[in-house]
Chain A
């Protein structure tokens, strides 16, 4: 669905953010985009949406070059930025003004989502909290039935019940013809929702693999003592949380935070497992 080839991008000439980055995303998945602050999570998402332009390389978003910003492409992309703006009008006025641009917009679905999110449709947008507004644009974005859903830190500003609502909604939003990309640094909010992990580091993608593939090759467990097979470990109350090769075909639960730290510190050691 999305093909990126040799992408080079940077805000200034001397500090490239991405160097020769190539990857593909396909429909039917929720991708979790992880990376340290400044690794370029938001920038990568903006590249996909055509909000910034690559220095070189090609991007193909379901057949469109995102930088051409064609309406036929834009109506298939739902972009939920971390910071957003909503005009000081009622929700139905907002809908009336914006929904007609999306020919697949589903009003019933929007109403359902608003109900799920506990937001009365007649409420004025100005009287809403940040979290409520965020829920409105998420509901609007999903109701456009876009093929590509891009979310930058969507759980920021949501309280605990809202996060639960959000996870339920996203679980139901994934269909076979949709591709969902979510950037987050709050991994624990989303770790059961993500099926493929993309880790950004040092101007490129350090890892792109499905949970299934990762747990096939690596195992995550608590150990009492360090041993040489452990590739990476973090001390815990009762020993260590460790990542090691999956010698015995164990089915362990992927600890995404541990994986993230492991990949960033021991990049070269993990490389052979994912090629």
Chain B
């Protein structure tokens, strides 16, 4: 896994786990790699992985079964989507809004742009 420049490592790892869940490489009720396995695979401090897993636990994406390890929750896919949406709303949208405001872009203009984008990419 290549880490990007700007996002905190533990969040990038969370994305990595979420990606696996969305692509159903790790299915509901399956065990996710242990903190140590993950740390070794990604060459990252185990405490960082622990931080990621704690975050994912808070988001109900994985759950900790004492003594056994971390498991993908039943509704993990929904939770991932919720989590991503929340993250988008909280972190990416403000940046976008700022640019929209600064560049004086109207909502109508945005709306038409958005619709063509959806048409081009998802309704082919």
Contacts and interface: CB of A to CB of B under 8 A. Distances in A.
Does B bind A? yes
Q: Is the interface of B mostly helix, strand, loop or mixed?
A: helix
Interface in A219-246: 221-222
B6 A195 contact: no
A250 B94 CA distance: 12
A250 B39 CA distance: 24
A115 interface: no
B48 interface: yes
Nearest to A211: B48
Contact of B7 (A28, A192, A248, A252): A252
Contact of B3 (A30, A194, A252, A253): A253
Interface in B46-73: 46-48, 51
Contacts, number: 62
Given A251-B7, A252-B7, A212 B51 contact: yes
B89 to A, nearest CB: 14
B8 A252 contact: yes
B60 to A, nearest CB: 20
B9 A172 contact: no
A111 interface: no
User: How large, as a class, is the contact surface on chain B?
Assistant: 20 to 34
Contacts of A164: 43
Contacts of B41: 168
B36 A172 contact: yes
Nearest to A250: B91
B8 A171 contact: no
Contacts of B45: 30, 171, 174, 192-195
A3 interface: no
B48 A195 contact: yes
A128 B36 CA distance: 31
Interface in A22-57: 28-30
Nearest to A241: B5
A132 interface: no
Contacts of B51: 212
Nearest to B11: A251
Interface string A160-194: 00001001100110100000000000000000111
In this complex, which of B10, B42, B45 has the most chain A Cβ atoms within 10 angstroms of its Cβ? B45
Given A192-B9, A222-B6, A253-B4, 11 more contacts: A30-B45, A168-B41, A171-B39, A174-B45, A192-B44, A192-B45, A193-B44, A195-B47, A251-B91, A253-B9, A254-B8
Interface of A: 28-30, 164, 167-168, 171-172, 174, 192-195, 211-212, 215, 221-222, 248, 250-254
Shortest beta-carbon contacts, A-B, top 4: A167-B43, A171-B39, A251-B8, A192-B44
Interface of B: 3-12, 36, 39-48, 51, 91, 94
